[in-house]
Amino acid sequence: MARLRGRAPRGERCRAGVPHGHWKTTTFTGALLLTGMTAPFVYDGAMNGNVFLAYVEQVLIPTLSEGDVVVMDMCGRPRLCKKNFAKSAERGRVRAKIGELAPRPQGRRRASSLDAHEAFIVGLIEERKDITLNEMVERLVAEHSVRISRSALSAWLRGHGWTFKKSPRTHWSRIAPTS
């Protein structure tokens, strides 16, 4: 941070260097044991409840052993930390017992109305490889009365590993596609 005040001889301007940088917060969190530091965690941004829970579940708990006592400074989010730490610690102990220490994917996959029609959509793609999203939406409405937007269908296809090239690569000065 830059100093707001300083000393200089009377009548002269106070000049001092000011640090320049990206002006962002970097948070360092770690656990201190009698034997030294463990579970270091650096986050580019301010610590919030979700980041703290991720730290506890994915970094801190795997380093703890039976009988370790955890003392936390909960100055930022006391209610959230207090409420969720016991649950996180228990989940971590259970996961450690079964040998699952790799972090799980974040978030949850929501079910889509298209999941029930997956076979039909895959059939459309197999039937005609160059089918467009508009045509797929029209066929879904006509044959299964499923009303869905083009962008939702595109996101669903991407989520299931299907990608489509929108158009062949054509240089602006050419008429035919290039390789």
DSSP letter at 31? E
CA distance 58 to 46: 18
- Yes or no: say if 163 and 126 are a contact pair by the CB < 8 Å rule: no
Question: What's residue 160's pLDDT?
Answer: 82
Give the Cα separation of 83 and 74 in Å (integer). Answer: 11
Question: Would you give the end-to-end CA distance of the chain in angstroms?
Answer: 54
Q: Give tens-digit pLDDT for 100-132.
A: 666 666 666 677 888 899 999 989 988 888 788
Q: What are the residues whose beta carbons fall under 8 Å from the beta carbon of 107, sequence distance 6 or more?
A: none
pLDDT at 78 over 60: no
Q: Token pair of 72, please?
A: 């936390």
Say what the pTM is. 0.36
